[in-house]
């Protein structure tokens, strides 16, 4: 395979068609301990980026980066070219460009690498007019206690897979080559389980697959380059495990509106049963009006979005009495966050029983790029 310098890639001096993107960079021998069967892979090229409507992987790391020179759109374009080549290889079990640990690339474990732009990525004169109208920080909510260290960044890269070693290697391949043009503001690492740390079955209510084109993927009506892309609202929500665990089981179920054992609404028997919010017992609502599922329930057809929750559980920050730094990295994907996500979040902020045990500490909004075509690169329509 022909090799080019990273400088050439970053300055856009060579097209990806000449690099043979998607082809194996080098051959890597299997480790003796690896299974003989081929590792699981997700497609990289296509209409949409993988890792959005993909069945959730076990581990994820959202990387928030800021551009050192936001006005230099050619540098941004070069980084997208480089990420495209690396992601096209890594997701298929091949080493990234100039990979110094190629043996770690051999087990992709459903690896996905998806890129999105925050408002700051559109700072150059060339890109300013192409920023979607909704691509801006969410308005302040009364329950928010946002910390700058988890705030809006210019770029996000969402890396996810089923193996933590593969994830760590892929994150290195994302960050290492762009250090001279980007600064890492934060990394948000999480793990997925059908239950969150409160013991609740999480992410039950989702748009049906046949509504993704309408509710998740952009149609390009406002910005033609965004066709087949989507928006990401990324919220970091701290969960007070100590006070939650002091609450009895019945109190927990009433706060959520679901049974803890089955995940069923309190008016049903299975997780997928429709909640009946009008149901009463002895004149008292079976599901309290302040229950989380009652406040989150859609009031219109447009108030639907794809929920992808990842839990985090870190060492305590050193405050006496705390046993952990725990919470949820809540990723919501939708065509228009102002029409779909914002009304639901406002209701939750106004009166959600879970607010007593949860605190949003981070918030950001991104335009997730459309998928890349073979021979091209992520974000190419934005620069055409």
How many domains would you assign to the chain? 1
Q: Is residue 22 part of a domain?
A: no
Region 199-222: what's the mean pLDDT? 97
For residue 16, name the pLDDT band (cuts at 50, 70, 90).
Answer: very low
Contacting residues for 367 by C-beta, under 8 A, at least 6 apart: 116, 117, 118, 131, 132, 135, 226, 229, 231
If you average pLDDT over residues 310-330, what whole number do you get? 85
Give the CATH number, domain containing residue 132: 3.30.70.1030
Residue 32 lies in a domain: no
81-90 pLDDT, tens digit each: 999 999 999 9
Residue 249 forms part of a structural domain: yes
Model confidence, pTM: 0.90
pLDDT digits (tens, 9 = 90+) for 125-135: 999 999 999 99
Whether residue 252 lies inside any domain: the answer is yes
Continuous H helices in 112-261: 164-175, 212-215, 241-245, 249-256
Q: Model confidence over 266-290: pLDDT tens digits?
A: 999 999 999 999 999 999 999 999 9
Query: CA-CA distances (angstroms) from residue 315 to 318, 319, 322, 324, 326?
Result: 8, 11, 10, 5, 9
Considering only residues 345 and 8, tell me which one the structure prediction assigns the higher pLDDT: 345
- Catalytic residue from among 162, 202, 218, 336: 202
Assigned domain for 2 exists: no
Q: Output phi, psi for 81, to 5 deg.
A: -60, -45
Interacting residues of 152 by C-beta distance below 8 A, sequence separation 6+: 118, 119, 120, 137, 363, 364, 365
Instruction: Report whether pLDDT(302) > 60.
Output: yes
* pLDDT at residue 324 in the model: 80
Query: Residue 329: inside a domain, yes or no?
Result: yes
Mark whether 86 is an active-site residue.
no
**Residue 278: inside a domain:** no
The whole-angstrom separation of Cα 384 and Cα 377 is 12
Residue 25 has pLDDT above 70, yes or no: no
| Containing structural domain, residue 374 | 48-260+291-384
- Token pair, residue 366, equals 């991104």
Count CA atoms within 13 Å of residue 315 on its CB side.
2
Any domain includes 302: yes
Task: Give the contacts of 29 (CB within 8 A, at least 6 positions apart).
Answer: none
CA distance 257 to 266: 6
């Amino acid at each position: 395979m022909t090799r080019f310098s990273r400088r050439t890639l970053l300055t856009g001096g060579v097209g990806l068609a000449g690099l043979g993107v998607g082809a194996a960079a080098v051959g890597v021998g299997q480790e003796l301990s690896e299974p003989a069967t081929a590792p699981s892979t997700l497609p990289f090229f296509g209409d949409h980026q993988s890792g959005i409507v993909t069945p959730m992987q076990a581990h994820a790391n959202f990387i928030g980066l800021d551009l050192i020179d936001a006005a230099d759109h050619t540098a941004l374009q070069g980084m997208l070219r480089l990420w495209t080549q690396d992601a096209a290889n890594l997701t298929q079990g091949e080493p990234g460009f100039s990979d110094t640990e190629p043996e770690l690339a051999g087990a992709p474990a459903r690896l996905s690498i998806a890129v999105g732009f925050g408002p700051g990525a559109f700072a150059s004169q060339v890109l300013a007019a192409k920023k979607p109208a909704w691509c801006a920080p969410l308005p302040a909510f009364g329950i928010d206690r946002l910390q700058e260290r988890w705030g809006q960044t210019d770029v996000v890269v969402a890396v996810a897979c089923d193996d933590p070693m593969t994830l760590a290697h892929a994150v290195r391949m994302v960050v290492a080559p762009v250090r001279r043009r980007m600064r890492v503001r934060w990394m948000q690492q999480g793990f997925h389980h059908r239950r969150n740390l409160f013991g609740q079955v999480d992410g039950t209510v989702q748009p049906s697959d046949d509504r993704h084109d309408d509710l998740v993927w952009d149609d390009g009506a406002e910005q033609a380059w965004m066709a087949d892309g989507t928006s990401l609202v990324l919220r970091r929500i701290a969960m007070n495990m100590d006070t939650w665990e002091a609450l009895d089981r019945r109190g927990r179920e009433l706060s959520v509106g679901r049974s803890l054992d089955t995940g069923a609404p309190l008016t049903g028997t299975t997780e997928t049963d429709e909640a009946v919010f009008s149901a009463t017992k002895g004149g008292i609502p079976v599901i309290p009006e302040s229950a989380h599922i009652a406040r989150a329930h859609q009031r219109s057809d447009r108030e639907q979005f794809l929920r992808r929750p990842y839990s985090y559980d870190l060492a305590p920050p050193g405050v006496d009495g705390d046993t952990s730094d725990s919470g949820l990295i809540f990723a919501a994907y939708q065509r228009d966050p102002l029409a779909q996500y914002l009304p639901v979040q406002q209701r939750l902020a106004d009166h959600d029983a879970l607010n007593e045990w949860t605190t949003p500490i981070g918030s950001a909004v991104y335009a997730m790029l459309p998928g890349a075509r073979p021979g091209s690169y992520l974000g190419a329509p934005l620069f055409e």
